[in-house]
Amino acid sequence: MDITNLIIFLAIGALAGWLAGLITKGGGYGLLGDIVIGVLGAVVGGYVFGVVGVAASGIIGSIVTATVGAVILIFLVRVLKRA
């Protein structure tokens, strides 16, 4: 992975984490927190989309996948914190 791909990867993670924070009414989690949530969300979203049979491609597809996964991740963390 070259530096350009790494920067794009981290930017998508940051954007997805920030969007997920807005969607879940949690606000931002700071740059590092947004990146972590977005990257983990990309893994979760990729898995969920694969199970459902949905394919997303390109940068927009990556952002959507990571954002959906991040929203699911934030929801699960909130549920587990209540338990």
Each residue of 30-56: pLDDT tens digit?
889 889 999 999 999 999 999 999 999
pLDDT at residue number 26: 73
**Is residue 28's pLDDT more than 90?**
no
Mean pLDDT of all residues belonging to the chain: 91
Alpha helix positions (H), the chain: 3-23, 30-52, 58-82
Tokens (6 digits) for 45: 């979203």
Band of residue 74 on the pLDDT scale cut at 50, 70, 90: very high
